[in-house]
Amino acid sequence: MEINGAVLEKLEFNKVLKELEKHAGSNLAKEKIKKIVPSTVPSEIEKMQQETSEARDVLRLHPNFSVGVVRDIKDIIRKAEIGVTIEPQEFLAIQDNIRTSGKIKSFFKNNEGNWSTLRKEVEKIHPVRELNQEISRVITAEGEVSENASPRLREIRRNIVATQSSIKKFLNKMINSPDIQKKLQDNLVTVRGDRYVIPVKQEYRSQIKGLVHDQSSSGATLFIEPMEVVDLNNKLRTLKSEERIEIQKILQELTDYTANFRDLLESSLHSLVNLDFIFAKANYSVQLNAVRPELNTEGIINIKKARHPLIDKAKVVPISFKLGENYNTVVITGPNTGGKTVTLKTIGLTCLMAQSGMHIPAEEESVVSIFKGIYADIGDEQSIEQSLSTFSSHMTNIIKIVEKADRESLVLLDELGAGTDPTEGAALAMAILNELHENNVRTVATTHYGQLKSFAYNTPGVQNASVEFDSETLQPTYRLLMGLPGKSNAFEISLRLGLKKDIVQKAKEFVGSEELRVSDLIQKLEYERKVSEREREKATSIRKEIDSLKKELQEKKRELENKKKEIIAKAAEEAREIIKKAQRESKEILQTLEHNKKVQEAQEKLKKMDRDLKDKSKIELTPKGKIPQNVKPGDIVEIPKLNGKGTILSTVNDDEEVQVQVGIMKINLKLKDLRVPIKDQKDDRQKKNLSMLVSEKSKTISPELDLRGNTVDEAIEKIEKYLDDAYIAGLNQVSLIHGKGTGALRSGVREYLKTHPHVRKYRCGEAAEGGSGVSIVELK
């Protein structure tokens, strides 16, 4: 039992694989495709078909998805394993795979889908982020070792730059000297053998002391290293040697570190290649508009409108083919170039693609069997080495097929029995088909022999089929007709091409009456088939029209139902709105009534208070005491109207008002409403306490307030208390630090300062004071 390479080549499966390769992103996946051999294990085939279907679903939902860059790092991992230093560019290849791994993991984590088989493959991917970070630290994107790889390398490279600068500085000064310039071939500094030199004309060699490192091809120019820079060049060479040693050390350390992750890198590489391979099959499925076939192991094939994958979709004629249920052998007849061989290859390729995990170019519900052996004898190749004729070559191949094929095999035979005497060839063909048929081998054979039509007709389990030929246009249609044998059409073609009727008639006489009767029967069957097909197409058209009308009526019915539901829902919603409106209005009425009741009660209370005040004002005496004169902040005064005392906070303004602190309140009062308090011990203590408060404030308060990080409201609350304290402490000027930022805090602070009673004026800070990030406030 086998599906060998010769069969794959005869059926052009290798060409299908070349088309599949175009959809793979990595060389490793392309190599995997080249080595595809169709499986004969049902569980493997089902798994591969599931992978392709899931990948096809990913592409349906995310058309731009691709696996991405996958590098072949097998040899690099091997180098790390045995301790051979990995080169910078090779580290970048490892990094590419790590990044691709991270992208794939992230995609399947962040996107939902029934992709369980693919997710199992993704679980084997390990984006080793710590290795990725270390490679990024050591290797630049250009594939060089970064100076940040080690402090020693950074120091060496700085010394190299400094030394090169010293050499260039001296040499530039030298070549710009008028005395030296005339002795130079070119006014420039160049490098020979890692040493800086100047191009000197041959005739001035003795006048420039130094070492000759090279000369031009003509010998007219010598590249001389002046003695003055020999030591510097030696130092530079030493530094570069130290740089190489340090780089080698760094790369070896990174190689050793990478070796710790070799198993994870290998696992990720294997899974990335598998995913690239799977998505290549999915993309090829999209290109072919292919479907996942239903699989079985009973030898049943039922492909619907299958297309040869290598023929242009716009030109290929689909075929529908059945085998394995009511018959195990199919004999296909028809004219040359009518499509018989293409039909055989389409059947064979459909099975090979399905058993390789590929979708097949056919319609949904197509059925394909899993065969343990697929055998084919197609073409007219001749074995030159064995000096065999075409017939002998075919027969040698067929003998091997008959020996190996069994009930789990598919055999495809093209032009069976051709290449020898027609009578003997037909007899051999029938005998071979009979042998395969009796062994229950699934067989499809093409032939020109009319005898095989009768064999198929008279043998149970054998079915005739043919490729259609249009006798009107004298052209094949390439359509496969199951159940109907092919007709020669030789007489009709000859007549249409101009052969005399009497010659054609004589030819018919040479053909036996039985064969003519069979031919006429086939012609009649063909006519009836076409009539039947037209009627069937007409019936199908009518059925489609009925289905369309039915669908339209159902759609209209659904629309009416939806409209009915919408009307009912709208009416219900309107009813709810009416109820809600009534409830709101009722509530508002109740609230209004309640409010009116409260207003009435409040009015009664106000009237009562007014009466009490009037009564009280009648018995109030004129306040005793003197109106204070020359008041200043800190003075204690009596406030008769409030029956209490307060502390003066400000001087008298133009309206004869002062600001007074009464408890926690600050209020502006007319001077005439204040009285000088009686000098008792209690007042003295209060004044003393205020004096102490002012003294304490002056010691502790800062001349600046930092408001950065506060909101405008928080800042204003702090400013209010701070300015009161600063005013009490006697500060003349303070600084409010609000920062620059967006300017919102600065604007809020300055807007507040415009109306503050303690503020005389404010301005933006000078450069030395903090600039626009500070407001300087002058207090009254």
Q: pLDDT (tens digit, 9 = 90+) per residue, 259-286?
A: 999 999 999 999 999 999 999 999 999 9
Q: Report the distance separating Cα 658 and Cα 667, nearest Å.
A: 8
What pairs with residue 191 in β-bridges? 196
Question: For residue 40, what pLDDT is reported?
Answer: 93
CB atoms closer than 10 angstroms to residue 719: 25
Q: Report the distance separating Cα 618 and Cα 613, nearest Å.
A: 8
Q: Report the distance separating Cα 196 and Cα 190, nearest Å.
A: 6
Mean pLDDT, residues 288-316: 93
Percent of the chain predicted with pLDDT > 90 = 42
Confidence of residue 680 (pLDDT cuts 50, 70, 90): very low
Which amino acid is residue 222, in one-letter code?
L
Burial status of residue 16 (CB atoms within 10 A of its CB: 0-12, 13-18, 19 or more): buried
Tokens found for residue 198: 């100047």
DSSP class of 770: T
Confidence of residue 611 (pLDDT cuts 50, 70, 90): low
Q: Which long-range contacts (CB under 8 A, 24 or more apart) does 14-21 make?
A: 15/310, 16/309, 16/310, 16/349, 16/352, 16/353, 19/284, 19/309, 19/310, 20/280, 20/281, 20/284, 20/358, 21/280
Extended strands (E) in 541-656: 636-639, 644-648
Confidence of residue 619 (pLDDT cuts 50, 70, 90): very low
Please choose, from the candidates 371, 367, 436, 368, the residue with its C-alpha nearest in 3D space to the C-alpha of residue 409: 371
Confidence of residue 557 (pLDDT cuts 50, 70, 90): confident
Q: Among 1-5, 16-20, 599-603, 774-778, which is the least confidently predicted range?
A: 599-603
List Cβ neighbours of 778 (8 Å cut-off, separation of 6 or more).
Answer: 732, 733, 759, 760, 761, 762
Confidence of residue 384 (pLDDT cuts 50, 70, 90): very low
Q: Report the distance separating Cα 480 and Cα 490, nearest Å.
A: 20
Question: For residue 685, what pLDDT is reported?
Answer: 53
Tokens found for residue 509: 């006489």
Q: Among 209-223, 579-593, 750-764, which is the least confidently predicted range?
A: 579-593
Is the predicted pLDDT of residue 482 greater than 90, yes or no? no
Confidence of residue 387 (pLDDT cuts 50, 70, 90): very low
> How is 70-113 classified by DSSP, letter by letter?
----HHHHHHHHHTPPPPHHHHHHHHHHHHHHHHHHHHHHHS--
Is the predicted pLDDT of residue 766 greater than 80, yes or no? yes
Q: Report the distance separating Cα 776 and Cα 780, nearest Å.
A: 13
Strand 294-296 with 367-369, pairing: parallel
Q: C-alpha angle 226/231/233, rounded to 5°?
A: 75
Tokens found for residue 504: 């054609």
Please choose, from the candidates 446, 378, 367, 372, the residue with its C-alpha nearest in 3D space to the C-alpha of residue 410: 372
Q: In this structure, are residues 697 and 650 in contact, taking their beta carbons and an 8 Å threshold?
A: no
Question: For residue 508, what pLDDT is reported?
Answer: 67
Is the predicted pLDDT of residue 773 greater than 50, yes or no? yes
Q: Of 312 and 769, which is predicted with more confidence? A: 312
**What does pTM read for this prediction?**
0.62
Q: In this structure, are residues 638 and 682 in contact, taking their beta carbons and an 8 Å threshold?
A: no
What pairs with residue 675 in β-bridges? 638
Please choose, from the candidates 567, 25, 484, 55, the residue with its C-alpha nearest in 3D space to the C-alpha of residue 282: 55
Is the predicted pLDDT of residue 381 greater than 50, yes or no? no
Question: For residue 697, what pLDDT is reported?
Answer: 60
Confidence of residue 598 (pLDDT cuts 50, 70, 90): low
- What separation, in Å, do the N-terminal and C-terminal C-alpha atoms of the chain show? 110
Q: What is the pLDDT of residues 739-761, one digit of tens each?
A: 887 788 888 888 888 888 888 88
Tokens found for residue 190: 């160049």
Tokens found for residue 359: 């979708």
Question: For residue 267, what pLDDT is reported?
Answer: 95
